[in-house]
Every structure is written in C-alpha cells, then in structure tokens.
Amino acid sequence: MRAIALLLLALPLFAENWQKINAGPFEIYTAGDVKAAKNLLGTLEQMRGQLADLTGTADLKPLWPIRVVISKTQRPSNLALTTNFYSLLLADAVLGNQQKYQIYSLLLSTNLGPLDPSLQEALLTVLSSLESERARVTVGALPPAAQQTPNWVLMQYLITNEIYRGRIRVFLSNLMKGTDQPTALRNAFEKDEAALRAEAAAARPAFAPVTYAAKPILPERDYRAREITPADAQLQLAIAQLADPKLRDQARLACAAKAPELEAQECLAAAYALLGEAAKAAEEADKSKPPTPRLLYLAAVGQPDRLKHQQLLFAALQAKPIYPDAALAFASKENDPLKAFKALKAAAAAAPRDTNYQSALAKSAHTAEQFSDEAKAWAAAERAAFDPTVKEILRQARLGAQDRRYEAEAEARREAEAARLKDIERVRQESLRRVREAEARARGEMTPLPPGTKVEQWWDGETPTGAIAGLLARVDCMGGGKARMAIRDAVGKLTVFDVADPSKLILSGAGAETFNFSCGVQKNQRKVKAAFKDNRLLSMELLP
C-alpha cells in the first residue's frame, strides 16, 4: 500500500515532458528548462576540459558515468554511487560548489597520480568556482574565509594569472610522479617556492574572478535532447533518490514496484546495498538478467558460498577489468596467488591514488613471487601516502621488495646460465655419440687383414726428433694465439716448448676429447708424453 501511495503521489510529476541529454561521461534527465539543462551539461564538460588542460591528461572519465536528475520537487543531494552510475539529484539546473568539488574528485581519483591532500583541496576549491558561458569559463570567485589556506592562495594566483596558468600542468605532472613540491615549482615556473608564495601573497588583495577562452562548446547546437517516457523518468528519479540517505527507502519501494525490469532490479539491489542489507542486495542482484558488473559485484558481496562468490566476481572483472572493489573482493578469497595478483594488477590503473589498494597489490605480488611488480606497487603506495610515518613504513617495504627483486633476477640469471651449459653439454654428448656410432659402423665394414700382416703406423706430419714424459706444469698464453708449455720430468727438471697454435696441437690419450688448456700454473697437473722437434711441441699424449 505504501508503494502504491508513493506512486500515486508521483503521477502529476511524471505527466511532465521529461527529456534526456548526454555528452561524454555525463547524462542529464530533466522535466524543466531544457536550455538550462544543456547549459549545465556544457558546464560539466568545461569542468572536465579545464582539469584536463591543467593536468595535461586528455579525456578524463570517472570509473562510472555520472547521471544527473533535475526535478523541482526534489532537494539537491551529494554525488553517490548507486547502480552503474554515480547519481546526483538537483532541484534546478545549477551545480553547487560542493557538488563540483565532488565531480572533480572523481575525475582525479581514477585518472591521475596522487597529490598532497592540502594542495589538492586548494586546487579543487579554485576550480569549483568555475562558471561557463558557451566557449568561455570564469574561475576565481573567492570561497569562504576558512577555505582560503596558504595553498589556496598559491593555486588561486597560479590559475588566475595568465602568465602562469599554462605552466601548471608541468607543476602538477611533476607532483603526481612523486617529485617534491619545491622542485616541481622550480621545474614549472623557474622560481623557488618562497618567491612564488610571496608573489601570491602580494597579489591576494586584488584576487578576483577571471574569464578566458575554453573548449568551443555551444550547448544549444552541440547537445540534442531526447524525450523519455514517464515510466523511465520515474525510474531514473528513484535511482537518483538513492544518493540521498533520507530517500533510499522510498526509492527502494518505487524500484520494487517496477522490478524485474533490468534497471529497476539494479536499483532495488543498489538500494539494499546502500541500506546496509548485503544479503538482500545479493539476492536481488542475482535475479537481474543480463547482469552488469555492478550487479555481479553486489551479488557476490552478500554471497556466503565461496565458489559462487568467486564466479560472480570473476564475471564482473571479465566485463570490467578496471574495477578495484571487485578485484579486492576477488583476491580476498582466491586460493591461487597468481590469479589474485593478476586481478589486482589489472584494476590497479583505476586506483593510482589509493595507498591501501596499492599495498594490497604489493602483498599479493609478494605471495605470487612477482617481485618486480611488488617493488612497483610499494613505490606507488609510497607516492600516494603523505603521512610521514606511513610513508617511511612503505619506503622500507619498497626497499625490501627491491632486494628480493634483485635476488630473484640473479637467481634467474644463474638458472639460465646453468640451462645454457646443460644444453651445450647435451649437444656435445650427442655429437660424440654420433661420432662413435660412425666409427663403430666403419669398423664393422672393414675387411680384416690376413694373419701375420704388419700394420704400419700412418703419419703425414713432421717427424719428431725427441720425446719427453712428465707433468704439464705451466702454460704461458702469449700474443698472436701462441703458447709456451713447461713439462717437468721425473727428476724435477723443467723443459719449455713453444706451440705456434695450441688448437692444432695433436692430443691423444684418455680424455683428449674434453681436455682444455688453461693459462698459468696448472692446478691439476696431467701426466703427459710429448713429442717435439727443435724445441717445438708436435703432439701430446695424455697419460692415465
């Protein structure tokens, strides 16, 4: 009965002509002045453009689109994630500074690196004063005195000063990559921080809004309004009402009356989630066909069965890999460390400013033995932390991860070298096997000599003039590929012979195939019998 009463009360409202306008990540639903709604959409796009210009990052988008519902019977709400949208309820086509601040915060959170909180607050306080008129914007209206901090004075001066405004992107880009503030200011403005702050303080009495050219947006020309049915408008209003804590139960009843339509079912599941009833949210989300990433997440969070919990979240991440909340929930119950790490890594791009998320990614990388990624994640967590104590803890974690990374890389190199040597030995042994097989075949095909035949030794090289037996004591490696070998005989006498090319020295005896000469005194001195001529070694037999 209560739901019917609510719907009856709403009937006059939805007899109005509702229209929808959209551009970029923004949607506006209105039953009022369409021209004013188009101008509001132009302001939202100019806000996005100004932040892109100041940060040097194109096409900024929040994680979820932003949907604005304008109804003169409603009170304005704050921005809140409801279904697959951030929802905002307005009484007319005007954004308050607080709502602009919230929209800027969303655009920053998933697109840009971290900023010191006090500096970010100052930056967004200045930008939240933005007003637009077609292709021109005005910024710099003074905020309440409590918000006029030293950082606000600096940012107000830099943004409203034509000389400095074009260089702010260098300053912010440096900061978001981890550069300290004094260095970032010098890099961008070629002045030290004290000088810039002094300039800003001197200019403060003259602070006033400034107007300058912006994106070439003509709302009346660029945006097209499309009529929507009263039933669709009723549903969009109910979804937007979820952004107001005092209207959530009313919105839940309105959505329940239209379920199981997809968006109505999404609204009902989101309502239960925002009301803190996770199990009911999961039950309603599980009914939706086809499920959206947000519904899959809501269905999983209230799901007690681990296997179904993981299946739902896996499906959500397949549809939307950059979904930090779903990745965290999936990793929290995943038994395979590598799968958990991969889910967190894929979604990390949407959480560059979240210290807790980056820390979770680092811990997951450590468990999965991905030490290079662990070090990067700890570094990202450290950049996003501005409390000195927390920052030092994260720095130590990063240094430990770097040590583990270096150890892992060294171990990988050792394993690669061992594998290379093993492969070389395999090839050598295979070659020897083939040679022996060929020799065996040749011996089998030879015709035996008649009994009593004398076998003459075959030799076509130089004829030795002498021979010596002893220990190979030393090999002196000389220029031009030459060598000098010293052999110690049985009485200890050392005789030195020249070898023009050691690679051509004829070796025979046990182990001749694998024997290698090493320069210097021989650690394992081999017994040898050498044949020579005129102090030159011709051949060497390795003795057992």
pLDDT along the chain (544 residues), means of 10: 43 68 96 94 96 91 96 93 94 95 95 93 96 93 96 97 94 93 95 95 96 92 94 93 94 91 90 91 85 89 91 94 96 96 95 95 95 94 94 94 88 90 89 86 76 65 86 87 89 89 82 79 88 87 86
Quick check: 469 and 490 in contact, CB under 8 A? yes
The encoded tokens of residue 58 equal 């194109």
| Residue 313 Cα distances to 6, 272, 349, angstroms | 35, 19, 18
| Helices (runs of H) and strands (runs of E) counted in the chain | 21, 16
Given a contact cutoff of 8 angstroms between Cβ atoms, the answer to whether 119 and 182 are in contact is no
For the packed helices 34-55 and 168-176, what is the interaxial angle rounded to 10 degrees?
70
SS3 521: strand
Strands 536-542 and 506-509 come out as parallel
The domain segmentation of the chain, as residue ranges, is 19-222, 305-434, 466-542
Position 6 scores a pLDDT of 44
Burial readout 299-329 (b: 16 or more C-beta within 10 A, e: otherwise): bbbbbeeeeebbebbbbbbeebbbbbbbbbb
Res 334: pLDDT? 95
Domain 466-542 bears CATH identifier 1.25.40: no
Residue 261, pLDDT score: 85
Pairing mode of beta strands 226-227, 210-213 = unpaired
Q: 421-479 pLDDT, tens per residue?
A: 899 989 889 888 888 888 888 877 777 767 777 666 655 667 888 899 999 999 888 87
> Residue 265 to residues 3, 309, 413: CA-CA distances in angstroms?
16, 19, 55
351 burial level (CB within 10 Å; 0-12, 13-18, 19+): buried
DSSP three-state, residue 81: strand
Domains 305-434 and 466-542 share a fold: no
pTM given for the model = 0.73
Contact 152, 126 (CB under 8 A): yes
Please state the φ and ψ torsions of residue 44, each to the nearest 5 degrees: -60, -45
The set of residues, in sequence order, having a beta carbon less than 8 Å from that of 140 and lying 6+ positions away, is 126, 129, 156, 159, 160, 207, 208, 209, 210
For 112: left if phi > 0, alpha if psi spans -120 to 50, otherwise beta; the answer is beta
Distance CA 42, CA 22 (A): 10
Q: What are phi and psi of 81, to 5 degrees?
A: -80, 125
Neighbour-count burial of 473, counting CB atoms closer than 10 A to its CB (0-12 exposed, 13-18 middle, 19+ buried): middle
User: Please, what CATH class does the domain formed by 305-434 belong to?
Assistant: mainly alpha
3-state secondary structure of 133: strand
Residue 455: the pLDDT is 61
Residue type, 122: A
Residues 6 or more apart whose CB falls under 8 angstroms from that of 525 comprise 471, 472, 473, 488
Q: Which CATH class is domain 19-222?
A: mainly alpha
Tell me 455's DSSP state.
P
Can you give the pLDDT at residue 235? 93
Q: What is the pLDDT of residue 509?
A: 83
**Secondary element (H or E) of residue 40:** helix 34-55
CB 199 within 8 A of CB 163: no
515: left (phi over 0), alpha (psi -120 to 50) or beta: beta
Please report the pLDDT score of residue 11 as a whole number.
43
How do residues 230-283 score in pLDDT, each as one tens digit?
999 999 999 999 999 999 999 999 999 988 888 899 999 999 999 999 899 988
- In contact, 257 and 7? CB cutoff 8 Å: yes
Q: Which residues of 134-158 are buried (b: 16+ CB within 10 A; e: fewer)?
A: beebebbeebeeeebeebbbbbbbb
Task: Please state, in angstroms and rounded to a whole number, the distance separating the CA atoms of residues 248 and 267.
Answer: 10
